[in-house]
Amino acid sequence: MNFPKFALLKMSLNKGEHTWTAADLKPGESARILEIAEDRVPLKLFDMGCLPGAEIELCFEAPFRDPMYFRVADYRLAIRRELASHIILEQRA
């Protein structure tokens, strides 16, 4: 069966596994992007360097933790937490 990537992510989350996303970062933390749910993320983010292999850093969060302010490549991005949850990061060592 061919499932979209997002469906596979949801299936793995249902098994009790936790996928580390950009929404899980704390201010000052950074990580490398592993995968992005293309069907859930605007193409504009790809154009701004939000690609697999790129380093992403959470600069700070607005009150109530939404939106989140990230540094990716030479760009600064303010995106909602829900959108950040579709940016999958490499697991911490």
Please write the tens of the pLDDT for every residue from 3-49.
444 444 443 444 445 689 999 999 999 999 999 887 878 888 888 88
Q: Is 87 in contact with 24 (CB distance < 8 Å)? A: no
As a whole number, mean pLDDT of residues 68-72 equals: 95
Q: Kindly state whether residue 4 falls inside one of the protein's structural domains.
A: no
Task: Domain count for the chain, please give it.
Answer: 1
Q: Kindly state whether residue 10 falls inside one of the protein's structural domains.
A: no
Rounded Cα distance between 2 and 65, Å, is 35
This prediction's pTM: 0.74
Please write the tens of the pLDDT for every residue from 48-58.
888 899 999 99
Q: Kindly state whether residue 8 falls inside one of the protein's structural domains.
A: no
Report the Cα–Cα distance between both ends of the chain, in Å, rounded: 32
**The predicted structure's pLDDT at residue 17:** 55
The boundaries of the domain holding residue 69 are: 19-89
**Residue 1, pLDDT above cutoff 50:** no
Buried (b) or exposed (e) across 18-37, using 16+ Cβ within 10 A? eeebbbbbeeeeebebeebb
